[in-house]
Homo-oligomer: A and B are copies of this chain.
């Protein structure tokens, strides 16, 4: 029952938020995910994941007044919590050990 690990996409979302620093709004996250990971998903998908990560204490958000430029109205700014950062580091470490020494052998494999 206790969700012990971050899913693949959950990790990506957390990382995208970290990359955006104080500009982590839902739509910007969507763009960051697409730019860096080539992962383009619907807004619904992102919001669901955001909601779950918040419920698990891996991120938090604050509501803000309308955006300065166009289309203005309230939106949420997301931020990774300490627990979220810790979970990311743990996962990164696990994968680092699993990849250890494999990089070379994989070059050229697959089409």
Interface 1/0 per residue, A85-111 and B, CB below 8 Å: 111110110110111111001100111
Decide if A36 is an interface residue (CB 8 Å cutoff).
Answer: yes
Does A6 make an interface contact (CB < 8 A)?
yes
Q: Which of A10-18, A46-54, A70-78 contacts B (4 or more CB under 8 A)?
A: A10-18
Interface class of chain A by DSSP? helix
How many residues on chain A are close to B (CB under 8 Å)?
A: 37
Q: How far is the CB of A3 from chain B (nearest CB, A)?
A: 12
A44 within 8 A of B: no
Q: Which residues of B contact A85 (CB under 8 A)?
A: 106, 109-110
> A56 on the interface (CB 8 Å rule)?
no
In the bound complex, how far is the Cα of B36 from the Cα of A32, in angstroms? 31
Instruction: Tell whether, in the assembled complex, residue A98 and residue B7 are in contact, meaning their CB atoms are under 8 Å apart.
Output: no
Cβ-defined contact, A99 with B110, below 8 A: no
